Structure 1
């Protein structure tokens, strides 16, 4: 971890900025692919320098985290939608014939529910959170106070950048911003407390995946 330093943080922020701006400018599927590529470059660079001990380890309890926390986050998102004036009915795709879009399974199920959570969690929690935590702990010390401060700053900063990136790449309602903030906080705290990235990845997959499945159900049943 000695090579996880301020320089690496700079490369991560550079990749984030370039990806967010490029993705917003290009838009659509191409913009999303450009954003993912820009986020993965600093992740690869960081992991070539060294991988934090235990970060990539997976445990059976991670599936439990995913089902429970991912499900709760989706329920809260639905509740927030109602609070902010939504009808509370199932979401659905906009289409003239009331059917599913031709490539919904590729763009939303594969891209949105599988690829996006992996890329985003490895960047925001597996890279940004870890490097910020490491830098703050080096400054504040390795005692309990230093570790606590590092965890707080790392979770807050990575969550803020996570939400900001979604805002830059597309319209973001108040309800969506609050939901994404909760996703970022929960996933960040999971990485800090477990020392593993996969609980966060799986929670994010369940959250995104249930959103896609509810949209499919709302379209077919509407």
Structure 2
């Protein structure tokens, strides 16, 4: 397809396509002559990935570039692509002071291993596991200790919803888009539901159990 057809297929403008090509996010088309280049399905899927991340998540060009570099790395496996998409989705940033070290960190990691075994999750290193371990350590540093039974309750809940809609059967671009947008929307839905649960509990307590809605 021509550049104008590529833009139409992705519901964007030719100017946007040219911009992403100049930025190095979208590979240039295959030259047919001095004035014409053609584009294939890989170009469309990459463009849809870029636009999807921009429209749904508001990702910066830099974060998209970091993800596409992993996708295009022949030595990076599918797990690396998924983790890079998850990292983009949750906006993961390392705190300025680096990893947290807390006296309760070791106990928290032991509790996490117990939870993972109970859930049947592989005892393997991953970016996601490291993030949970660091979150437990940072919580302990400010006096918040997560008990094993609490972690189990959380794991039971997220274990049932964590893979909803997860599809890794398409191209790496399609997989990255699905994981990134799915993780972004699901994580925010979970946080919003948590807020709703806490607010509802507070309303019930403050009202003494009396109905608070319209008559």
How does the TM-score come out when normalised to structure 1? 0.28
Higher RCO structure (Cα 8 Å, ≥6 apart): 1
Please say which structure displays the higher CA radius of gyration.
2
TM-score by length of 2: 0.29
More helix by share: 1
